[in-house]
């Protein structure tokens, strides 16, 4: 793994919903954009989409929405 491209791709996946869609819809395009090796792309594709969305804060609002403090 080259690390720099992988880290940049992962950061974008966490920051941008369109990047998460691209990973699902056009993984080859994401690989080209970040100059990912086959094993790097495979590692990103192996991520659980629901966990990635949750980690990215895609719950629709601030907080986790699961605990009492975040549900207020």
Q: What is the pLDDT of residues 3-60, one digit of tens each?
A: 899 999 999 999 999 999 999 999 999 999 999 999 999 999 999 988 888 888 865 4
What is the value of pTM for the model shown? 0.74
Query: How many angstroms separate the CA atoms of 48 and 10, rounded?
Result: 13
H-helix or E-strand spanning residue 54: helix 49-55
Query: Which pLDDT value is given to residue 54?
Result: 86
Query: Which pLDDT value is given to residue 72?
Result: 47
H-helix or E-strand spanning residue 7: helix 4-15
Contact call for residues 52 and 13 (beta carbons, < 8 A): yes
Residue 50's nearest CA partner among 42, 38, 39, 58 is: 58
Residue found under tokens 């990912």: 36
């Amino acid at each position: 793994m080259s690390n720099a491209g992988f880290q940049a791709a992962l950061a974008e996946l966490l920051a941008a919903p369109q990047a998460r869609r691209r990973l699902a819809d056009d993984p080859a395009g994401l690989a080209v954009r970040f100059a990912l090796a086959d094993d790097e792309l495979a590692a990103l594709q192996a991520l659980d989409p629901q966990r990635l969305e949750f980690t990215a804060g895609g719950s629709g609002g601030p907080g986790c929405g699961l605990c009492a403090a975040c549900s207020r």
